[in-house]
Amino acid sequence: MRKSLTPTAAVSIAAIDMERTLTQLPFWPSLTEQEQETLRRSAFVRHYEKGTFVHSSDNECLGMLFILSGEIRTYLLSEEGREVTLFRLYPGELCVLSASCVISQITFDTQMTAGPDTEVLIIPANIIAALKEKNLYVRCYLYELATKRFSDVMWAMQQIMFKGLDRRLAEFLIAEAERTGSDTIRMTHEQIAQHISSAREAVARMLKSFSEDGLVELKRGAITLRNKNGLNCLK
């Protein structure tokens, strides 16, 4: 019979896992020993279930997020309830918009929700703010990251303003297949509509058209790419 871990052993394993996680931070090697110890004491892991609200610019400043597993979707929400997806974050990526109180130049009124079940490492806002003031490398990294996210936002806006739905949908399907390594994309029409900032009904009509043209095969909750070259021609 397998023995259960003693409290001491459990704490020790948790400490090892946290140390391993912190060393994945891009700026970890550039921190002083004291700064590293501060992160060991203050950083924590939080679990978000699928669809759970993670952060809003209207709420308290959460801090910096480091995605450990799952996915976070960042989007704008209009007064009418329309959502415009700005970008998605995957394991190994950092989010600085959730630390907007640290970088005053960030003024996006963004929302964040977990896609599937998601785990994130959170560095509290006051800690990342102190690191930004004391460590030049951390400060430069934060501004570089903010610039990258702004570029992601501009790309999303260009997609919506200058590309038709057929091109945006084809590009999304190809990109998702490459990201997951599978030609079968397991998403509902509603989920795809959220990601490409369109209406579910419009996405359903376009997918039906793609299906009739032999580009994809539609099944409940799944879309299989049948003609990637054809989809690429639409991009």
The pLDDT of residue 220: 87
What string of H, E and C letters represents the secondary structure of the chain?
CCCCCCHHHHHHHHHHHHHHHHCCCCCHHHCCHHHHHHHHHHCEEEEECCCCEEEECCCCCCCEEEEEECCEEEEEECCCCCEEEEEEECCCCEECHHHCCCCCCCCCCCEEEECCCEEEEEECHHHHHHHHHHCHHHHHHHHHHHHHHHHHHHHHHHHHHHCCHHHHHHHHHHHHHHHHCCCEECCCHHHHHHHCCCCHHHHHHHHHHHHHCCCEEEECCEEEECCHHHHHHHC
The pLDDT of residue 81: 74
The pLDDT of residue 103: 54
Q: What percent of the chain has pLDDT over 90?
A: 57
The pLDDT of residue 36: 96
Compute the distance between CA of residue 176 and CA of residue 155 in angstroms, rounded to an integer.
Answer: 17
Mean pLDDT score of the chain, rounded to an integer?
85
Report pLDDT digits (tens) over 81-132.
778 888 899 999 998 766 555 555 555 567 889 999 999 999 998 999 899 9
The pLDDT of residue 52: 92
Residue 146 pLDDT exceeds 60: yes
The pLDDT of residue 6: 42
Nearest to 128 by CA among 54, 46, 65: 65
CA-based R_g, the chain, Å: 21
Report pLDDT digits (tens) over 170-200.
999 999 999 999 999 999 999 999 999 888 9
Compute the distance between CA of residue 32 and CA of residue 40 in angstroms, rounded to an integer.
Answer: 12
The pLDDT of residue 82: 79
